[in-house]
Structures are given as C-alpha cells and as structure tokens.
Amino acid sequence: MRAMRVRTLGARMVAEDLPDPVPGPGEVRIQVRACGVNFADTLMIDGRYQERQAPPFTPGMEVCGTVAALGPGAEPALLGRRVAAMPGAGGFAEAVCLPAAACVPVPEGMTDAQAAGFIIAYATSLIALQRAALAPGETLLVLGAAGGVGLTAVEVGRQMGATVIACARGAGKLAVARRAGAHHLIDSDGADLRAEVKALGGADVVYDPVGGALFDQALRATRPGARLLPLGFASGTVPQIPANILLVKNLSVIGFYLGGHARLHPEALPRALQTLFDWFDQGCIAPHVSHEVPLDRANDALELLRSRAATGKVVVTI
C-alpha cells in the first residue's frame, strides 16, 4: 500500500510503499477512501502533540473507507461495509487496521469526504458543549468559527438552542459561519472582540480552539457564571488564565480533549455520534469540506491548515 510517512520530526512527509497491514484479533482492515486533516496532525508531525509518535510513522487521525479484511473474532457482517473511524494515526495511507468496535456505519447520504472529517470535529463540539451545559437561550461565542472544529460548534450550538456569535478572520470566512447558522459575526482582524461581545450582552460559553490574545479578550467579555472551553491553540500561544477574574466572575474553565475523554468515558463517543448522524439525516447539520487533496499531496493539505487558508474541513482522498 501507499502511505505518507514522517521520517524526521518537523520535516515534510514522504511517500512510501509498505506491506498491507494485517488485522489482529478483533480488528479490521479498512481500505481508506478519505482521511480528515486536523491541526493536531501538524503538531504530531512537529513532535509537539500531547500523544507523541516516534518516527517513522503515518499521520492521519480519522478515516472513512470500506472494511476489506477481518481479523480473528471480528464480526463477519462488517466485511464490505462503509464505515468511519478514528485510528488516531495511520490514516494517510491506502489501508489502516483498527479495532472493529471503533468503526461506525456511515449514513448513506454522507459522502466519503464528509464522513472522513466528521468524527473529531463534530463529536468535539457536541460533547464539549454538553460538558459546558450550554442551555437554550444562552449566548455561545465561537472563536476560529470558520475552521474545522469552530464551524461545527456554530452548527451544534445553534441546534442546542443558543444564540451564536461567530468570530473569524475576514468577510469570506464570516460568510461561511453565517451560512452555518451564526446569529452575529465579528471579524477578528482589527475588531475589539471584548467590546463587541459585551455590546451583544456578553457570552455564557466561550468555545476556543485558537488561544492567544483572542482568548484573553473573550475571557473579559463573559457574563458572570460563564464557562470557557479551551480546546486548542492554533494561534501558537497557550493563554495563561488570571485566577482573580475566575474568582470575581464565578467562571469555570473546562478542558476538553476528545481522545482522552473517550478513554475515560467510552460510551460518550458512540452516543454523541448517534445524535450527530440523526441530525445529519434530518438536515440539521451540513458538514462543510473546503478542500479535497489527493494522498500524494498530503503535505499541501497540511499547509492549508497552517496558513489558515481553509474553511471547515480539509480532506485527503485516496
């Protein structure tokens, strides 16, 4: 099989031919049709992700494909089924093996590209916003609202009954957030985020995959009793949270990382995906893929994320 491999941390991936992987007990081999690209892939390649991989390795955290082979004990009915799964790594390849229990059937109306970029972004948004107890009628502020996870938070927040304030860079990205259901738009280029959010009444929940200066402004634009979700640091700067502001405003900061949460609460991810697939079937959410890039150009797909040129998801196609 063909795979994109990291030979040296921080360097570009290289294409290699590898033996087809053999599924072990309870595993299946998926013939990959598409692999979602995540900002975490760039961190993993640079050696800066919280779960480090030793070179050589194949990145690619979420896939859609067809079950092509079964390991001992795997359910025979899975053979030939189109499924989505979150292997954590190994997806930038023509095939990957993982536990059969980790595979979920894909709705018929969902394309391979949509399914490949669905699990991490949508499940992160739904479970994180549930943990923050986002309630109907509350105000949700989404930073990086046109990105892979941010755009799903706009959709999920609206579906949960919140008033959504979307913050993104430039008119084009804000237009994408508006189409996803945002009620209010703030351009992060040059805007006084704190003042604009406070003029809208303040935020009850802040969803932040960006970090940096925007988090600092959002923190100061919260209502008393608000909840903050620091989900990533695409800006490159991890914010330091002043405890005195938390104290005075009775704020809660809720860290959330999907992989770790799924290990602690294995029932949470299947439950969330069932809800999300139901919403998809009902037309309540519409996964947005801005770029589909072939496997041999997977380095270009990563650059789209690093340069913030993408909206929604970038997907590598096989």
Beta bridge partners of 64: 34, 84
Q: Which CATH superfamily is domain 121-259 in?
A: NAD(P)-binding Rossmann-like Domain (3.40.50.720)
Whole-number pLDDT of residue 135: 98
- pLDDT given at position 316: 98
CB 156 within 8 A of CB 285: yes
> Cα(256)–Cα(244) distance, rounded to whole angstroms?
22
Region label for 90, one of left (φ > 0), alpha (ψ between -120 and 50) or beta (otherwise): left
SS3 149: coil
Q: Which fold has domain 2-118+287-317?
A: Quinone Oxidoreductase; Chain A, domain 1 (3.90.180)
Secondary structure in 3-state letters for 6-67: ECCCCCCCEEEECCCCCCCCCEEEEEEEEEEECHHHHHHHHCCCCCCCCCCECCCCEEEEEE
Check the CA dihedral 214-184-269-289 and report its sign.
negative
3-state DSSP helix/strand/coil percent for the chain, to nearest 5?
Answer: 35, 25, 40
Nearest to 9 by CA among 52, 40, 39, 61: 52
* Residue 235: per-residue pLDDT: 84
Which residues are within 8 A (CB) of 238 and not within 5 positions of it... i.e. 6 or more apart?
211
State the Cα torsion 38-41-43-49 to the nearest 10°. 100
Note the pLDDT of residue 27: 97
Cβ neighbours of residue 180 closer than 8 Å, sequence gap 6 or more: 151, 154, 155, 158, 166, 286, 288
Q: Which of 166, 164, 156 is nearest to 125 (CA)?
A: 156
Torsion sign (Cα): 83, 89, 93, 99 = negative
Phi-psi region of 57 (alpha: psi -120 to 50; beta: other; left: phi over 0): beta
pLDDT tens, residue order, the chain (318 aa): 999 999 999 999 999 999 999 999 999 999 999 999 999 999 999 998 888 899 999 999 999 999 999 999 999 999 999 999 999 999 999 999 999 999 999 999 999 999 999 999 999 999 999 999 999 999 999 999 999 999 999 999 999 999 999 999 999 999 999 999 999 999 998 889 999 999 999 999 999 999 999 999 999 999 999 999 999 888 888 989 999 999 999 999 999 999 889 889 988 998 999 999 999 999 999 999 999 999 999 999 999 999 989 999 999 999
Q: Are strands 203-208 and 139-143 parallel, antiparallel or unpaired?
A: parallel
Euclidean distance between the first and final Cα of the chain, in Å? 11
Where are the CATH 3.90.180.10 domain residues in the chain?
2-118+287-317
Q: Measured between alpha carbons, how far is 89 from 145 in angstroms, rounded to an integer?
A: 26
For 38, the token pair is 């995540």
Domain with CATH 3.40.50.720 in the chain: 121-259
Identify which of 12, 10, 16 has the alpha carbon closest to the alpha carbon of residue 93: 16
Pair of tokens at residue 165: 């304030």
Write the single-letter amino acid at 316: V
pLDDT at position 267, please?
87
Query: What would the two tokens of residue 24 be?
Result: 């072990």
pLDDT of residue 190: 82
pLDDT recorded at residue 52? 87
Please tell me the predicted confidence (pLDDT) of residue 51: 83
Write down the residue that tokens 């991890």 correspond to.
Answer: 238
pTM of the model: 0.92
